[in-house]
């Protein structure tokens, strides 16, 4: 099987140029149920400093902010971030930043990092490198939450299962899997730095 490259910023620019909410985050029952499950999967009731990678138009961001003292939400798309800023304009504890993951990451430490439906846009090699970078951004006992769609998408370099399996293989010895669930459409894994 041919290995695919990481999807570029141009790919996402085209997606958002074609539609403001390309994955129907605002209206999809699937997304609403998955967001609720994601928030319920968080082991702690509150986090001091959290990082959301790939926040898109900020639907999950707004829910996540209720659990965080400070939340940094990032995305590669300026257009998506503009929508997210409007959606979260009444949420003072959220900061938005345009970053191209995994090449660009904040210079900070976090007790929660959320990667929801993002890592399968990366090639296998880029994701493996990213895993170690993310681990280094975590404080002791910090958590990484992975949430990914499971059916194969021809455009995407990896499947959701590939993303989660390679995370476990790369860093599982240094982290504890403290929560996991799987539906027909998505899976959630929460890993804690030990």
pLDDT score of 37 more than 90 = yes
Average pLDDT over residues 16-29: 65
Residues 191 and 144: beta-carbon distance below 8 Å:
yes
Average pLDDT over residues 128-152: 96
Question: pLDDT band at 25, cuts 50/70/90?
Answer: low
pLDDT score of 147 more than 80 = yes
Q: What is the pLDDT of residue 5?
A: 84
CA distance 119 to 123: 9
Q: What is the pLDDT of residue 31?
A: 86
Q: What is the pLDDT of residue 188?
A: 98
pLDDT in tens, 92-125: 999 999 999 999 999 999 999 999 999 999 999 9
Per the prediction, the chain carries an average pLDDT of 91
Question: pLDDT band at 62, cuts 50/70/90?
Answer: very high
Q: What is the pLDDT of residue 2?
A: 60
Average pLDDT over residues 126-138: 96
């Amino acid at each position: 099987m041919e290995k695919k490259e990481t999807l570029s910023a141009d790919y996402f620019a085209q997606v958002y140029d074609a539609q403001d909410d390309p994955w129907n985050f605002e209206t999809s029952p699937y997304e609403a149920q998955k967001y609720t499950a994601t928030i319920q999967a968080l082991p702690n009731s509150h986090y001091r400093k959290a990082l959301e990678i790939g926040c898109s138009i900020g639907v999950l961001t707004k829910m996540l902010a209720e659990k965080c003292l400070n939340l940094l939400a990032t995305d590669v798309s300026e257009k998506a971030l503009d929508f997210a800023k409007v959606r979260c304009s009444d949420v003072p504890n959220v900061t938005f930043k345009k970053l191209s993951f995994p090449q660009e990451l904040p210079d900070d430490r976090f007790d929660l990092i959320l990667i929801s439906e993002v890592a399968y846009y990366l090639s296998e090699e880029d994701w493996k490198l990213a895993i170690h970078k993310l681990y280094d951004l975590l404080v002791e006992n910090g958590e990484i939450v992975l949430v990914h769609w499971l059916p194969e998408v021809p455009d995407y370099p990896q499947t959701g299962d590939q993303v989660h399996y390679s995370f476990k293989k790369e860093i599982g010895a240094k982290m504890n899997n403290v929560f996991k669930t799987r539906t027909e459409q998505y899976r959630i894994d929460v890993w804690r730095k030990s």
